[in-house]
Amino acid sequence: MYNATEQIIFFRDIVSYDEYIIFIIMCTVVYITLSFFGIISNTMNMATFIAMGLNDGVTISFLVLSFFDLIYILTSFSLGITVAFSTCERITPIRFPVEPYGLVVILGNIMILLITTNVLATTFIAVARCMCVVKPLQFKNWFTVSRTVCFMAGFAIFAVAIYTPILANMGMVTRLDNKTKISRPTLWLPRHREDIKNVIFMIIDMIIPMSTEVIVLVCIMLMANSLQDSFRFRQTSQMQTCSKDKSTHDDKSSEELSPKGKLSGKELHVVKQVTLISVIYIICNTPKILISLAGVIEPEFRIGRRYNYFYMTLNGVRKYLEIINATINTFIYYRYNTKFKTTLISKWNEIKLVSYPLRR
């Protein structure tokens, strides 16, 4: 009995109110800073993919993913600003014409909707690449521009449709604040919303993330195995050809064959690009699953309950990772996509040439 009491006290003291306020101030700085770079990076991504030409499904899928990421980042930037105003109200007597906390809750829910589209789009890219590598003859021309657009539009419609019941049961209503005696728009949440939220969150915070992570992992393994088998077959064929005419092709074969049995450059880049995007996705989305599982195991681990500040702190960290996930793809494209890198450098040089006369 003593140990159980001590455990409850320990969990209550994991994050105090003062520690939570400090964390929120950090969130404000980090959200705004990361989101600023995310807006730049995803705008660059979209401009580069458009310049590359929207002639294939792969480019379209990366373009739409960048668009989803950009919308998510713009919302997180707005969230960072509203969190700053909300924190100001918490620690000072200042009151704004509109309740910032209500805007924080609404923007946070919109971000949950948007991250669902990002999750589905990332999974689609992994599946499409996997099919094209494992079964190239069957699927090489299957992921056309029109089909890719339909899939991406379907993901957006699905996310909006499944999250609409939550957004429809919340809003800002003008009410009188008993403490300040001021009427202003404040957050409105009906009592039955909690039951609706629990069902929908079970789908979008547990079922969808867990399912997509399993799918992505399977795609990585299948693609890597297929490329390894393809390389071994090609290497064996080359060795047989070289043995028949060694004097003619000796120098050439020594350059083409890899003594260690590694993948060729282009194939290795494909595997690394998809694998890196997938691994970052898994790392950044796993906390969402763990937090949701903790909420199922411990009902007090949620907003307004015993572990309120601890729950909010962990969700803040989760948002950090999701923002990073929506920002970092530019570096992956630049490193492993030769056409993207060439086009981006070309556009950057054009911008410098245009801006140079203006400086003079």
Question: Binning pLDDT at 50, 70 and 90, where does residue 265 land?
Answer: low
Tell me how far apart the alpha carbons of residues 186 and 31 are, in angstroms, rounded to a whole number. Answer: 23
- Model pLDDT, residue 141: 75
Question: Binning pLDDT at 50, 70 and 90, where does residue 84 land?
Answer: very high
Give the model confidence (pLDDT) of 273-312 as tens digits. 777 888 888 888 888 888 888 888 888 787 777 888 888 8
- Model pLDDT, residue 42: 95
Phi, psi of 263 (to 5 degrees): -70, 155
CATH homologous superfamily, domain 16-352: Rhodopsin 7-helix transmembrane proteins (1.20.1070.10)
Flag whether pLDDT at 254 surpasses 50: no
Mean pLDDT, to the nearest integer, of 202-222? 88
- Model pLDDT, residue 253: 44
Could you write out the DSSP letters of every residue in 295-360? HHH-TTSSTTSTTHHHHHHHHHHHHHHHHHHTTTHHHHHHHH-HHHHHHHHHHHHHHHHHHHHHH-
Which residues neighbour 94 within 8 Å (Cβ) at sequence distance 6 or greater? 88
- Model pLDDT, residue 10: 41
Tell me how far apart the alpha carbons of residues 229 and 260 are, in angstroms, rounded to a whole number. Answer: 14
Question: Binning pLDDT at 50, 70 and 90, where does residue 7 land?
Answer: very low
Mean pLDDT, to the nearest integer, of 235-263? 50
Tell me how far apart the alpha carbons of residues 263 and 133 are, in angstroms, rounded to a whole number. Answer: 13
Report the range of poorest mean pLDDT among 147-156, 198-207, 268-277. 268-277
Question: Binning pLDDT at 50, 70 and 90, where does residue 258 land?
Answer: very low
- Name the percent of the chain lying above pLDDT 70: 81
